[in-house]
């Protein structure tokens, strides 16, 4: 068995650090498809459901509704109903939601640097990102 010293603590090569409970909770919510994209899209201020649907190509109305409900329940997004006529509903980031924006910006920068998409010029549904091949 190979043992190495990391930060003064001997570890075996087959040892693994336990999953961080806070990260597990965060990614249970943030790891769902479209969640991060919606949070980033809401950075500009209050927006209605239809505008969000247009701003995020490829998201279905049912998934958009589900994600907005989850984000509202988690306290990251506020839903405001304005009396009409016509009645209008807008969504905006809460203080907790805005606190995620620096992390989302870092993820965006990381993706620009390390991920590429197929058919980058397409405005249709975003393609799954692929890691750029290493140049030798």
Domains of the chain and CATH, by start: 33-119 (1.10.10.10)
The pLDDT score that the predictor gives to residue 15 is 79
pTM over 0.85: no
Q: Among candidates 42, 49, 33, 39, which has minimal Cα distance to 125? A: 33
Residue recorded with tokens 């505008």: 51
Per-residue tokens: 130: 């692929």
- How far apart CA 104 and CA 112 sit, in angstroms, is 12
Count of Cβ atoms closer than 10 Å to residue 52 Cβ: 18
Q: Among candidates 87, 12, 92, 24, which has minimal Cα distance to 52? A: 92
Q: Among candidates 5, 1, 75, which has minimal Cα distance to 39? A: 75
The pLDDT score that the predictor gives to residue 123 is 42
Fill in the DSSP letter of residue 32. Answer: S
Average pLDDT by stretches of 10, the chain with 136 residues? 60 80 92 95 96 96 97 97 90 98 95 76 42 42
Could you give the angle at the alpha carbon of 40 between the alpha carbons of 53 and 36, nearest 5°? Answer: 85
For residue 55, give the 3-state DSSP assignment. helix
- How far apart CA 124 and CA 126 sit, in angstroms, is 6
The pLDDT score that the predictor gives to residue 4 is 62
The pLDDT score that the predictor gives to residue 133 is 43
For residue 22, give the 3-state DSSP assignment. helix
């Amino acid at each position: 068995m190979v043992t190495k010293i990391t930060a003064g603590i001997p570890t075996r090569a087959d040892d693994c650090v336990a999953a961080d409970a806070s990260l597990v909770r965060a990614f249970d919510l943030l790891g769902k498809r479209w969640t991060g994209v919606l949070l980033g899209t809401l950075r500009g201020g209050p927006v209605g459901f239809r505008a969000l649907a247009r701003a995020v190509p490829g998201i279905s109305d049912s998934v958009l509704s589900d994600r907005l409900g989850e984000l509202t329940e988690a306290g990251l997004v506020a839903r405001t109903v304005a009396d009409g006529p016509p009645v209008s509903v807008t969504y905006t980031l809460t203080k907790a939601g805005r606190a995620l924006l620096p992390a989302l910006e870092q993820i965006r920068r990381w993706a620009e640097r390390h991920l590429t998409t197929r058919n980058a010029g397409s405005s249709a549904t975003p393609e799954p990102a692929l890691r750029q091949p290493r140049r030798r």
